[in-house]
Amino acid sequence: MKKDKSRTMTTNLGRPVDNDQASITTEGQNAMTLLSDSHTIEKLAHFDRERIPERVVHAKGAGAFGTFEVTNDVTAYTCADFLSQVGKKTELLARFSTVGGEKGSADTERDPRGFAVKFYTDEGNFDMVGNNTPVFFIRDGIKFPDFIHTQKRNPQTNLKDPDAFWDFLSLTPESIHQVTILFSDRGTPDGFRHMNGYGSHTYMWYNKKGEHFWIKWHFKTAQGIKNLTGPQADVMKAKDPDYATRDLFTSIDKGEFPSWNVSVQIMKPEDAPNYTVDTFDITKVWSHKDYPLIPVGKMTLNRNPYNYFTDIEQAAFSPGNFVPGIDASPDKMLQVRLFSYPDTQRHRLGTNFDQLPVNAPKCPFGHYQRDGAMNFKQEAGPNYYPNSFDGPTPDKKWATPPIDVSGMAARHEYEVGDIDFVQAGDLYAKVMTDQDRTHLINNILGHIKGAQKRIQLRQTALFYKSNKDYGTRIAEGLNLDIKEVEKLANMSQEERVKATAQ
């Protein structure tokens, strides 16, 4: 904490305070505190209301301000103003977090890490709300509340529950790719500075001509990937539960500014229907060989929050905060997030959360939203549109290019197929080193050993389907019959679920 020059203490409304150590009471042994002591009452009443709801997910986090600088010309693909010129700089806020743990939980828990960036552009705020993994566990947002419940605490014991964790994942085979990344050492990054960020979803970019493209964001750490092993992460939970928070703050404080090289993969829309994987399925990556990374710019974090609560706790990100040149894709998981993020911010922070300095745009803005709790900034002018009193007006030039989304409306389920196991298998067999594989196996065993045997069998069959060696090593570690695992792996998911019901 830095020393400030001495100042007079006041009440919230500025009245100088004479004494902050004794409340106003009657005299003597039976002294009673008087209601007329409005300073004491204000102090206690505000204290009673200090807590706001913590985020349902991503509650524990840290963040910092910084700058994004364009390094490469991408104007052929997007008309986003903040990407319009090499050398152009945009102020930003980044927040990193774990996902499942409460606000006081340890930074080195095995979990994906949130990687959210708010760009304060001249055409409104653009939020890139991703993770440190390029994929996710599920691909339809309707499953999200259930998935998160399994990562939280058992409703009766209030303990983390390996049965719930592996029961859900083994009943949700599309999770296998993300599970493989999560249980690799990338699931316990060495602080926030040494991990990559990914938009994970497919997004739309469009250019000045109205041509659109499907893109994926990649933020590659310039500090290099550095992870903790499972045992190192466990030790750190006790030694310094705020390890990543401390590391980020201290390095920026010392003038060691972390940076990330930002690039995108770009797909022409006509290629999407024929690509090997569903372009909009967030459980899949686009191979770098098919879609090489195209450099865009560099993000540098160079300013710590002035106050954690106002700058980071109250920061509200939404994947739906787009600017002209960037928009959503028909990714089912993204579509649900577009609703859920601002919805939870309204609950957590209030209807006018976007007026808080950290969330407010830094460019001029004008709209007809009015009133609501804690409103401190709205126009005096007309509160309806259309009007003939010079209120703000829309302009068709800002329209996103149309895309065809016709078809029969129904609850269309993704079918689980062999394709859902390919990328997890590739990661295991072609990308990981021997040491990576050994750590992965040990990390999984350390967690799944607490689950019931029938659940272990069902999940191990999914590892086996991804790669025989992968499944075999897990089966051996759990003392499971490999013949039984193989039999389950060769069944359809429906049959497998029936066979492991009891």
- Kindly state the helix (H) or strand (E) to which residue 236 belongs, with its residue range: helix 230-239
State which amino acid sits at residue 273: P
Site string for ligand NDP, 230-269 (x = CB under 6 A): ----------------------------------------
Q: Which residues, including other chains, have CB under 8 Å from residue 498's CB and lie 6 or more apart?
A: none
Residue 226 binding ligand NDP, by CB under 6 A:
no
* Smallest separation (angstroms) from ligand NDP to the CB of 499: 28
Residue 431 binding ligand NDP, by CB under 6 A:
yes
Tell me how far apart the alpha carbons of residues 441 and 473 are, in angstroms, rounded to a whole number: 7
Nearest to 133 by CA among 160, 99, 165, 173: 99
- A 10 A CB-CB count for 310 gives 13
Nearer to ligand NDP, 37 or 436 (CB): 436
DSSP letter assigned to residue 126: E
Residue 285 binding ligand NDP, by CB under 6 A:
yes
Q: Just list the catalytic residues.
A: 58, 131
Residue 46 binding ligand NDP, by CB under 6 A:
no
Nearer to ligand NDP, 214 or 341 (CB): 214
Residue 325 binding ligand NDP, by CB under 6 A:
no
Q: Mapping DSSP to helix (H, G, I), strand (E, B) and coil, where does residue 479 land?
A: coil
* Smallest separation (angstroms) from ligand NDP to the CB of 255: 27
Q: What is the CA radius of gyration of the chain?
A: 26
Residue 287 binding ligand NDP, by CB under 6 A:
yes
Question: How far from each other are the two terminal CA atoms of the chain, in whole angstroms?
Answer: 58
Region from 61-69, 236-244, 280-288, 487-495 binding ligand NDP, contact rule CB under 6 A: 280-288
Which two three-digit tokens encode residue 187? Answer: 């699931």
Residue whose pair of structure tokens reads 């409304």 in the numeric block: 13
Residue 418 binding ligand NDP, by CB under 6 A:
no
Region from 124-132, 179-187, 207-215, 266-274 binding ligand NDP, contact rule CB under 6 A: 179-187
203-206 and 326-327: which strand pairing? antiparallel
Site string for ligand NDP, 436-455 (x = CB under 6 A): x-------------------
Q: How far is CA 175 from CA 138, 168, 368, 485, in A?
A: 6, 9, 42, 18
365, 122 Cβ separation under 8 angstroms: no
User: Cα angle at 236 between 234 and 240, to 5 degrees?
Assistant: 145
Q: What residues from 87 to 146 belong to the interface with ligand NDP (CB under 6 A)?
A: 134
Nearer to ligand NDP, 41 or 294 (CB): 294
Residue 186 binding ligand NDP, by CB under 6 A:
yes
* Smallest separation (angstroms) from ligand NDP to the CB of 213: 16
Task: By CB under 6 A, name the binding residues for ligand NDP.
Answer: 134, 181, 184, 186, 196, 218, 220, 285-289, 423, 426-427, 431-432, 436
